[in-house]
Amino acid sequence: MTRRSILALNAGSSSIKFALYDIASSQDLQLVSRGTLDLGDTPTLRAKAANGTVQCERQLAADKPRDAAIGEMLNWVQSEIGERNLLCAGHRVVHGGSEFIEPVRLTPDIIDAIDRLTPLAPLHQPRSLAPVRAIAALQPDLPQVGCFDTAFHQTIDPLVRRFALPRQYEGQGLRRYGFHGLSYEYIAGRLSGISPTLATKRTIVAHLGNGASLCALQQGKSIDTTMGFSALDGLVMGTRCGAIDPGVLLYFLLERGIAAEELQTILYEKSGLLGVSGISGDMRTLEASNDPRAHEAMALFAFRAAREAAALANTMGGLECLVFTAGIGERSASIRNAICEKLTWLGVVLEEHANDTHAEIISRSESKVEVRVIATDEESVVARHSRKVMQA
């Protein structure tokens, strides 16, 4: 019998992460390949097999449009599949609004409906839809599935997601949605797999990368999160400001005469670690720098993360487990230490060597809060949801 495969795609600002899975049984997915299509000045396609063997690393023509690069990625995937049948392509979509709370087959009408949510995520939504449209043009017969970052947070209580605005605006969709849901869903599943008891603990997951947020989990469900109406809210990020007094925005608009488009660029692309340091939005660059501005940016990042974690602990009525994930969360021992030092009053006690070596458990035995480092895998969640949609 011909084996079937699923291609999972996770589009970012200048790259597309992808993973190819075999449907090994009615329940299991088996990773075949994992790679990245970099779409910067030097477009590059890279892929490795599940065992880490390099399968592909080649530069693509820089003068071709993005769709052509996506086409080359698809061609490579098809050549790697061989005798297998590609069942579908699944996509991480940043914003599902109030309508899309479950994964869905991407028809032309659904794609248009998702596109109409672009004002809620003006930079992220077009990036999510670009590979969807490219694949639809290149392989119109290949089914596609959308999996939404906002869907996991549908369990948040209305009180928690409500803004104190005139009530009619909530009916128009102005509320807190939350993001990074596919990552949080993966971590919730991992905790359950590690221990059913662990999965019941009052847990904060810190998804710390270029985009950063926290999520409060109880019984594996989201009950609060730091991102709200947009992916600008909450923590300091690589180039995004995080939570800010709305009076600052009014000042920019009314007193400084800054146009809305310029303000959007400032908030999304020139703020955060980059804005505070004046050096870079990449935590690795800042950690390697001796410039005091770099240290100020990192200190603000840790301070805001710890303050928001305390707020989420209040929502849950306590804290029993803290999980670090994503690029910074998984690889920066110094940032984890800086955040945890500010949470000692909640019972967090790190084990220095375990933290420095990025061990799975980095808290001491006497710590009241179990602190873990777990690598996230959004692509596997996309693949799992895509299979369910195709089997429905």
**CA of 274: how far to CAs of 209, 285, 291, in Å?**
13, 10, 13
* Catalytic-residue membership of 233: no
DSSP annotation of 255 = I
Give the whole-angstrom CA distance, residue 192 versus residue 213: 21
Active-site hit among 149, 224, 233, 377 = 149
For residues 299, 302, 303, 306, the Cα torsion angle rounded to the nearest 10 degrees is: -160
Instruction: List phi, psi (to 5°) of 371.
Output: -110, 125
Q: Which of 327, 331, 371, 323 is nearest to 186 (CA)?
A: 323
Give the helix/strand (H/E) hosting 4.
Answer: strand 4-11
Whether the CA torsion 335, 341, 345, 347 is positive or negative: it is positive
Place of tokens 């019984």: 219
Q: How far apart are the first and last CA of the chain?
A: 21
Neighbours of 10 (CB within 10 A): 22
Catalytic residues: 149
